């Protein structure tokens, strides 16, 4: 009977170790009186600290992200008085790398054995990155919907300025909204249409076509850029930039009034190309606004991340000038 029980315990321990290793679970134990931590090999690898028989909480705290450090300390102290299971997620810094760790255990000395509390660490970096990506996507989609509504309102005002009848306005507005749909397809291509290249000038003309006036106010938007092909990712990034700038121009800039003009030109210098967005004739600009909105951050990130470039804003009294400086070798991608 004893040997059967010993065999069962051995079998359980062996399979428990296999399960722990397969699940990438790091095991820790906290000595309540000495405040020392004991951890398995995987935990030391996870925290990026050299192997030792034990490690102090202060040593581990030094690697916790400064924003999370006080919160983690308070949470671990609270485990002595809060009953039941607990879990806390926090970041640790390993040089330039940031990892997300989930610490789980039992509070209020629950299950304590020999003045030693036990728990596990889990690397939840992938999950946290996926959550952040989902939040960013939700924010981007919300911003785009608001932009499209603002654009539709602006296009209605533009069309109303030159239309002589309700029928003429309805026809012109329908054409503009259809053109807007074509431009939107450049941002999110339909299945089977990905990977198509385009000419830089054609891309900009298609994107800006919905905003150009007809009849007496035609030709307010002029595009004159270098003839060169661009890839899908470049087209997507530039489309986002143009949509954002055009939306703001329709609401506040040169495209918000009858007297405004927009010129889009380019300049090649060495291994870089600058696409210059110059507005004139719009409402007077007083000072330089602080660009903290989601849209401004989104297009700045697109230009820097995807195109290896930078956006600069020059708030002149007679109109805004935006320069998108990009690397030539990125444009074909």
pTM of the model: 0.48
Whether residue 102 contacts residue 124, with contact meaning beta carbons closer than 8 Å, is answered with: yes
Domain 129-330 falls under CATH 3.30.565.10: yes
The percent of residues above 70 in pLDDT, for the chain, comes to 69
- Angle, nearest 10°, between helix axes 125-162 and 232-251? 50
| Mean local confidence (pLDDT), 232-236 | 75
- The residue ranking higher by pLDDT, 186 or 84, is 84
Classify residue 329 by its DSSP letter. Answer: G
Strands 310-316 and 319-327: antiparallel
Classify residue 255 by its DSSP letter. Answer: G
Question: Domain boundaries in the chain?
Answer: 2-123, 129-330
pLDDT range class, residue 195, cuts 50, 70, 90: very low
- The residue ranking higher by pLDDT, 299 or 262, is 262
Whether residue 245 contacts residue 323, with contact meaning beta carbons closer than 8 Å, is answered with: no
Name residues whose C-beta falls within 8 Å of residue 200's C-beta, 6 or more positions apart in sequence: 225, 226, 227, 228, 229, 230, 238, 266, 275, 331
294 vs 141, 162, 184, 237, 291, CA distance in Å?
11, 33, 19, 15, 9
- Angle, nearest 10°, between helix axes 294-307 and 125-162? 110
Rounded to whole angstroms, the Cα distance separating 234 from 187 reads 10
Q: Read off the tokens for 75.
A: 């949470």
Rounded to whole angstroms, the Cα distance separating 255 from 249 reads 5
Q: Which of 71-85, 131-145, 243-257 has the highest mean pLDDT?
A: 243-257
Rounded to whole angstroms, the Cα distance separating 23 from 266 reads 54
Rounded to whole angstroms, the Cα distance separating 317 from 312 reads 16
Q: Read off the tokens for 70.
A: 């006080």
Q: List, for residues 32-43, the tens digit of each pLDDT value.
A: 677 777 888 888
**How is the beta sheet containing 84-94 ordered, strand by strand?**
55-56, 36-39, 26-31, 116-123, 97-107, 84-94
39 CA to centre of own chain: 35
Rounded to whole angstroms, the Cα distance separating 221 from 201 reads 13
The residues pairing with 311 across neighbouring beta strands, listed in sequence order, are 324
Q: Compute the C-alpha angle 184/188/193, nearest 5°.
A: 110
pLDDT range class, residue 216, cuts 50, 70, 90: very low
| Mean local confidence (pLDDT), 251-265 | 87
Whether residue 99 contacts residue 87, with contact meaning beta carbons closer than 8 Å, is answered with: no
* Averaged pLDDT of the chain: 76
Rounded to whole angstroms, the Cα distance separating 309 from 303 reads 5
pLDDT of residue 329: 85
Considering only CA atoms, which of 60, 77, 71 is closest in space to residue 121?
Answer: 60
SS3 200: helix
pLDDT of residue 59: 81
CATH number, domain 2-123, options 3.30.565.10, 3.50.50.60, 3.30.450.20, 2.60.40.180: 3.30.450.20
């Amino acid at each position: 009977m004893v040997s059967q029980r010993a065999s069962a315990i051995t079998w359980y321990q062996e399979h428990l170790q296999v399960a722990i290793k397969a699940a990438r679970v790091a095991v820790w134990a906290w000595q309540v009186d000495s405040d020392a931590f004991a951890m398995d090999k995987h935990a030391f690898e996870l925290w990026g600290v050299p192997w030792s028989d034990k490690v102090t909480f202060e040593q581990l705290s030094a690697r916790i992200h400064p924003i999370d450090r006080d919160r983690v300390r308070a949470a671990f102290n609270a485990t002595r008085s809060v009953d039941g299971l607990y879990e806390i997620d926090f970041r640790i810094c390993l040089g330039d790398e940031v990892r997300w760790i989930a610490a789980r255990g039992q509070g209020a000395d629950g299950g304590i054995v020999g003045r030693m509390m036990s728990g596990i660490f889990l690397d939840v970096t992938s999950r946290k990155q996926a959550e952040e990506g989902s939040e960013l996507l939700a924010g981007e989609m919300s911003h785009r919907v608001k932009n499209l509504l603002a654009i539709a309102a602006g296009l209605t005002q533009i069309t109303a300025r030159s239309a002589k009848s309700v029928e003429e306005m309805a026809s012109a507005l329908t054409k503009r909204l259809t053109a807007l749909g074509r431009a939107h397809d450049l941002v999110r291509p339909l299945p089977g249409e990905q990977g198509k290249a385009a000419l830089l000038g054609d891309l900009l003309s298609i994107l800006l076509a919905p905003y150009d006036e007809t009849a007496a106010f035609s030709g307010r938007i002029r595009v004159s850029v270098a003839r060169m092909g661009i890839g899908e990712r470049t087209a997507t990034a530039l489309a986002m930039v143009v949509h954002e700038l055009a939306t703001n121009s329709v609401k506040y800039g040169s495209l918000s009034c009858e007297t405004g003009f927009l010129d889009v030109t380019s300049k090649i210098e060495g291994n870089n190309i600058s696409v210059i967005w110059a507005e004139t004739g719009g409402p007077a600009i007083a000072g330089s606004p602080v660009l903290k909105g989601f849209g401004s951050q989104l297009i700045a990130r697109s230009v820097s991340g995807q195109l290896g470039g930078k956006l600069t804003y020059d708030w002149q009294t007679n109109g805004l000038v935006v320069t998108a400086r990009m690397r030539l070798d990125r444009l074909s991608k």
